[in-house]
Amino acid sequence: MLLGAFLSALVALAVTAVFLKERRVSVLATVAGAAFVMPVFWNSILTWTGALDLFSHDLPFLLFPISWQDTGSGIFTLAGAGVALMLGAGRKDPAPKLAYLALAAAAAALVVDVFLY
């Protein structure tokens, strides 16, 4: 779980720096931090409640075998990154920019979750 979260953080950092051209260290750290912490929280909730087996059945689509567990990682990351950016490093940025930053973190967490664990 921690390796997948670490990879999510790296991918989110790369996407944010390369495609969104963000250079502020505080914003990059917030995006990477959310992409690390939120999937860990989501997967911990599933583990603690014993629901991991219920949410981990992949869709039988070879190109994108997504499950509810994967979707939850993306949604948790989107929410966590959005809140963290609004309250912290991005509080003076326009809302669309914050939405793109949070979406980058969520997409990274989702894609890493789908294909790597």
User: Which range of residues forms the domain containing residue 70?
Assistant: 2-116
Residue 117 has pLDDT above 80, yes or no: no
Domain count within the chain: 1
Q: How does pLDDT run across 2-28, given as a tens digit for each residue?
A: 999 999 999 999 999 999 999 999 999
Residue 15, Ramachandran bin (φ over 0: left; ψ between -120 and 50: alpha; else beta): alpha
Q: Give the pTM.
A: 0.91
pLDDT on residue 6: 96
> What percent of the chain lies above the pLDDT cut of 70?
100
